[in-house]
Structure 1
Amino acid sequence: MEEQAKQEIPIAKMRSNQIGIVITLVIAIVLDIQWLIAVLWLIQVMTLLLGPGANVFVTLLEPLAKSIYGTKQTEAKELAKFNLSLGFTFLTLSLICISLQWKTAAYIIAGMMGLAALAALLGYCIGCTIYFQYKKYKALRNSAR
């Protein structure tokens, strides 16, 4: 049981990060503050490297997320890391677009990440669906060999 607990992340930590992502991206896109995307990218990189404790959104918003989503639910650490990696990829692509002065493309890509985070907050995890399909494809490919 203790080993399983190490492989799980409290859902409130995940949701607090998603709340922070949605708020930050809405502000960045609506107010045209491109550097906020870079700040968000840095927060996600720190989370990937150091874990949820390094995420400022978790620090600030976890009490709110606990009151909304409770304290008992967890998410698999592997799935959380996959979702975080997807977010990192979208933010990286957005920053590349910003550096090329493709602002519309940058905001569309960042907006897609924001919509995925919003969908997760509302109960549908797009990253989880992608992860499941990827695992299914990998299993079918391995069984065909």
Structure 2
Amino acid sequence: MQIESIPRPLVRVNQWTIFLTVVLAWLTGLHWLLLIPLVANLSGILFNFNPIMKIARVFIIKEVKNYIPEDVTQQKFNACIASFCLAGGLISFSLGWTIVGYVFTIMVAVASFIAILGFCIGCFIFYQFKQYQYRRTLKQT
């Protein structure tokens, strides 16, 4: 059985899209731009089709198996966190709750940029959650 994976360059394109879209929304005040990564990530979670990654796949040079694989389950978990923050930011900005909007979008921008640099906060949270589940099952036996 082969574990489902996503080539790292596609994950990086998605991370850059989140980061750059958030920064662009801040600079222009066009908060609806947050819909771009939000819809793409929700589509990835719900339908296994992230349009940003599908478009980026066209530009992959090597065979997919020659790239560092990223786990699909972890990426969906990360996309859930990102979608929550993007939606929270978009809704907050729409309601005029500017500070809350910035809090949500700063969190997702910082997380995506740190992931681009090589440390995935969402993966760390996912790992800690799995450890918690495992320890809980040990206590029940």
TM range (shorter): 0.7 to 0.9
CA distance in 1, matches of 2:55, 2:72: 21
1:50 aligns to 2:50 (yes or no): no
CA distance in 1, matches of 2:71, 2:87: 24
- Say whether the 8 Å CA contact 1:16–1:62 is kept in structure 2: no
- Say whether the 8 Å CA contact 1:8–1:76 is kept in structure 2: yes
SS of the residue 1:92 aligns to: helix
Shift of 1:104: 2.1
Shift of 1:57: 2.8
- After superposition, residues 1-145 of structure 1 pair within 5 angstroms as 3-5=1-3, 7-51=4-48, 54-61=49-56, 71-145=66-140
CA distance in 1, matches of 2:126, 2:9: 21
Give the AA of the match of 1:115.
Answer: V
Q: Which runs of 5+ in 2 are unaligned?
A: none
- Say whether the 8 Å CA contact 2:32–2:90 is kept in structure 1: no
Moved over 6 A (4+): 63-67
Give the AA of the match of 1:106.
Answer: G
SS of the residue 1:9 aligns to: strand
Q: TM-score, normalised by structure 2?
A: 0.85
Q: Mean Cα displacement is larger for which, 135-144 or 54-63?
A: 54-63
CA distance in 1, matches of 2:75, 2:111: 13
Q: Which runs of 5+ in 1 are unaligned?
A: none
Q: TM-score, normalised by structure 1?
A: 0.82
Shift of 1:92: 2.0
SS of the residue 2:119 aligns to: coil
